[in-house]
Amino acid sequence: MLAQIVPHVSAIFSCYYSSQHCKYFFDRECYENETSAYNASACETLLGGYFLNGRCYYNVPANCSDGYYQQCTCYPHRSSTYTSDTCSNIDGFYASGYCYFVEFTCRRYATNGQCYRFVSTVTSVNACALPDGILLHFQAAWL
């Protein structure tokens, strides 16, 4: 009887992170802190963390104590009044109803506390009926 040879394959994975010591590793991320003081929503929105089994795992760099840590970035400001489009237009990060941003710098059209990418001239109030359209000033012109 011939012996059957079964090949053995092993996989080696590399983990890259900036800290010398990784205390908690979930979902391909390294977290240095953990707490049970936050629920899942607060863990994500306030700390930018990962919530698992009643615990929030998170990183907060020393220079972000007065800001909001999201997606490996410290944002000094957070607002629930900006739309996701406005947040994108001011180079912010939008998550769970909040816009995290460095400063409100609208390089396009800033009106009504939002930042719009486009503006057009219309001839009637109804012409600005797009879902995200807003009529700011309507002036009738007699030709």
Distance (Å, whole) CA 143 – CA 140? 10
Q: Is 3 inside any structural domain?
A: no
Q: How many CB atoms lie within 10 A of CB 2?
A: 4
pLDDT in tens, the chain (143 residues): 555 554 444 444 444 444 455 688 877 777 888 888 889 988 887 777 889 999 998 876 656 778 887 776 788 999 999 999 999 999 998 988 999 999 999 998 888 899 988 877 766 666 665 555 554 444 444 43
Q: How many domains does the chain have?
A: 1
List, as one string, the DSSP characters of 43-73: HHHHH--EEETTEEEE---GGGTTSEEETTE
Q: Is 134 inside any structural domain?
A: no
Q: How many CB atoms lie within 10 A of CB 65?
A: 9
Q: pTM for the whole thing? A: 0.52
Which domain covers residue 43, as residue numbers? 17-60
CB 59 within 8 A of CB 74: no
Q: Is 113 inside any structural domain?
A: no
Q: Is 138 inside any structural domain?
A: no
